[in-house]
Structure 1
Amino acid sequence: MTTSIQPPLQKPPLQKPGIADLDWTLVGFLGVVHGVALLSPWFFSWSALGVMVALHWLFGSIGICLGYHRLLTHRSFQVPRWLEYVLATIGAMALQGGPIFWVAGHRQHHLYTEDAEKDPYAASRGFWWSHMLWMIYRNPKIFNGQIYRRYAPDIARDPYYRWLDRYFLFLQVPVAIALFALGGWPFVIYGGFLRIAVLWHSTWLINSATHMWGKRRFHIEDGSRNLWWTALLTYGEGWHNNHHAYPNVAPAGWRWWEVDVTWYAIWALEKLGLARRVVRPPVEVAAQRL
């Protein structure tokens, strides 16, 4: 009797999406936002620019980095439920998806970092894929709510978060009305369209640039890196190698020179008695000369 030796199973080559797979509605939406943002030089005023910077911080640092990322996704600290809802609502106003979608995608990223098939924004597929192309192709594993909710069951159980996940886009309406009432079209273009576009690319740089360039303090399996200039643009998220090594730690910047504006806000909430169970770097690691 002879036994045949079977060759190991080979993964089929990754199929590159084509034009037919594009989500043209989303492509058009992204194009319109960027197109209107490009009109900003013709509507410039210092007050409009100030509104853009303020809202970039509010929706970016407080909403996305603190609310969506460090609180909802990684549970690196706890706040009262009413405050958690406020922070999640501010995150939804950033126009980067609802809380269930955002949390689920980021948890997949940490579970399967740089896996070309399972990481939604795998840097192994190139800079532009991880930066923005991953969004514009139809992929049910990423965009079908019945599928992505499996990665965020704690968020999906909450009725308010289900509501935000469905209607986050409409939150831009009261924001736009308030901006127009305060400063007309310059405020709408700077505080609305330009703020959205700049914040998009700031956030996307964490998916792309910080998996390609920078320094590696912790030699972990993925290619995450600490990149100082992205940390400045994203309120601390650019200390990405620190974060991937210890994702449930509240501060991303571990040394005094590692500017982490989002951590300063968490620290302030803790001092005010609004944040508790704040996860800090392990003592034995933090004590090392990193």
Structure 2
Amino acid sequence: MYPSVIPFLLIHLGCVAAIWSGVTWQAIAVGVGLYWLRRFAIGAGYHRYFSHRAYATSRLFQFILAFLAQCTAQKSVLWWAAKHRHHHLQSDTSQDVHSPRQRGFVYSHVGWIFARQHDGTDLLKVADLASYPELIWLHKLELAPAILTAVVCALIAGWSGLVVGFLWSTVVLYHATFCINSLAHVHGRKRYVTGDDSRNNWLLALFTMGEGWHNNHHAYQSSVRQGFRWWELDPTFYILTILSWLGIVWDLKAPPAQVLRNEHRLGSRVIKRAAEQLAGRFNPERIALAISASAQSSELSALRDALGRLQHRADLLWNLRLPDMPTREQFLTEARDMFAKTISLDDIVDRAYELLLESVGSLLGAPAPWAMAEAKSV
């Protein structure tokens, strides 16, 4: 674990100092205002602008967003955006930095931040941002905005302003943000097939100014609007809309009508990940054992050759009659139970069948399709 876990814990323990500093109304007002201001900076800045470029703005307002976001003590703008972009590329796979499915809830919520392998910043992932000297400066002095904010809170409301106004609001802000990484991949509803566990959670949306519509976001990442339905409250989007009227931001990106109606065709990466989940519902070892037990040695050899020759040809794959192999209807039933409505369901089912047959073939000793292709190319 990275040593910065110690100051993180000290910030939490520092909240107890309210016993001595007292809790004043002035400090509470500072804390509430600071929470919502910085919450907007995280959602509109770190997330929708720096990570996804969901809108355009001036260099000055870009810096203001980055500064306010770093007042949260959630590391630098470059680190945050780089990790988030990587998350979307590898969401809920073994390469994801904070997947509850892979490493458990606590690690996805907070533990990953302090793992040494995640301390560095992959500047190649944020090359568009790293070209700005002022953002590099903020990156190098990542805690300076938070420290300055703490000092201002103390000047406004004394020790209570520091403890209640700054520390309390910072801790609440920490866990509101972290819940999107953890809870929004565990609890909620899925409207879209995204190839991962992202979910829409209305309660998180209330505390995070619209960030809780996480499944919507994963369905169309570059949208400035994350509450796709009129009843899905998204205050961050509303404020950005007002700022666009004032000319402070512009080119707000919106999801296509097909996405809003859930009628879009899924990309190959999403289909592959969904197919892997579907294929995982079936047991290739049991199927391979059933085939081995029922087939003669000559039949088994012929079957191995056939499995090796079939390369992503679902029309032929479905015509194979293998013992204990689930039918297409069984795959479709399982898929409808697992996934939200999508016009790409047949593609997911066909790919899942191919993946299952590849697993069965490898257990039977048949060459995998990609191995056959490589052999032919040589």
Which TM-score tier does this pair reach, normalised by the shorter chain?
0.7 to 0.9
Q: Which amino acid aligns with 1:71?
A: Y
Match of 1:109 in 2: 87
Deviation at 1:45, TM superposition (A): 2.0
Per-residue CA deviations over 1:8-52 (Å, capped at 9, x if unaligned) read xxxxxxxxxxxxxx22x2121111000011333652122211211
Aligned with residue 181 of structure 1, among 155, 175, 186: 155
- 2:217 equivalent in structure 1: 243
Which residue is equivalent to 1:196? 170
Q: Distance in 2 between matches of 1:192 and 1:229?
A: 24
Give a deviation string over 1:122-146, Cα, whole Å, max 9, x none: 222111111001112211xx2223x
* Residue 117 of structure 2 corresponds to residue 150 of structure 1: no
C-alpha separation in 1, matches of 2:76 and 2:39: 14
Deviations 1:152-180 (A, max 9, x none): 11111211111101102022232222211
Compared CA separation, residues 41 and 237, structure 1 to 2 (3 A): farther
Match of 1:40 in 2: 18
What amino acid maps onto 1:33 in structure 2? I
CA RMSD of aligned residues (A): 1.6
Given the superposition, is the C-alpha separation of residues 253 and 180 from structure 1 closer, same or farther in structure 2, using an over 3 Å criterion?
Answer: same
Residue 123 (structure 1) aligned to one of 100, 105, 117: 100
Distance 1:40 1:260 in 2: 33
- Residue in structure 1 matched with residue 32 of structure 2 by the alignment: 53
Alignment-mate amino acid for residue 48 of structure 1? A
Radius of gyration: which is bigger?
2
In 1, Cα distance between the equivalents of 2:174 and 2:63? Answer: 22
1:74 lines up with 2:48 in the alignment: no
Task: Quote the offset at 1:103 in angstroms.
Answer: 0.3
- Structure 2 unaligned regions, length at least 5: 264-340, 342-378
Task: Give 1:9's aligned residue.
Answer: none
TM-score (norm 1): 0.86
Shift of 1:113: 0.3
- Structure 1 counterpart of 2:68: 90
**Which residue among 157, 163, 180 is the counterpart of 1:206?**
180
Equivalents in 2 of 1:244, 1:207: separation in Å?
A: 12
- Tell me if the contact between 1:40 and 1:194 (Cα under 8 Å) persists in the aligned partners: no
**Residues 40 and 252 (structure 1 numbering): CA distance in 2 closer, same or farther, change over 3 Å?**
farther
Amino acid at match of 1:72: F
Query: Which consecutive aligned stretches of 4+ in structure 1 deviate over 4 angstroms post-superposition?
Result: 287-290
Give the 3 Å change call, closer, same or farther, for CA 288–111 of structure 1 in structure 2. closer
Instruction: Give the Cα–Cα distance (whole angstroms) in 2 for the partners of residues 144 and 150 of structure 1.
Output: 12
Q: What is residue 4 of structure 2 aligned with on the other side?
A: 26
User: How many angstroms apart in 2 are the aligned matches of 1:179 and 1:122?
Assistant: 35
Query: SS of the residue aligned with 2:249?
Result: coil
> Which ranges in structure 1 are unaligned for 5 or more consecutive residues?
1-21
Matches of 1:36 and 1:214, distance apart in 2: 33
Number of equivalenced pairs: 262
Deviation at 1:76, TM superposition (A): 0.6
Partner of 2:57: helix, strand, or coil? Answer: coil
Deviation string 1:226-267 (CA, Å, 9 cap, x unpaired) is: 001111111110000000000000011112221111111111
| Higher RCO (C-alpha under 8 Å, 6+ residues apart) | 1
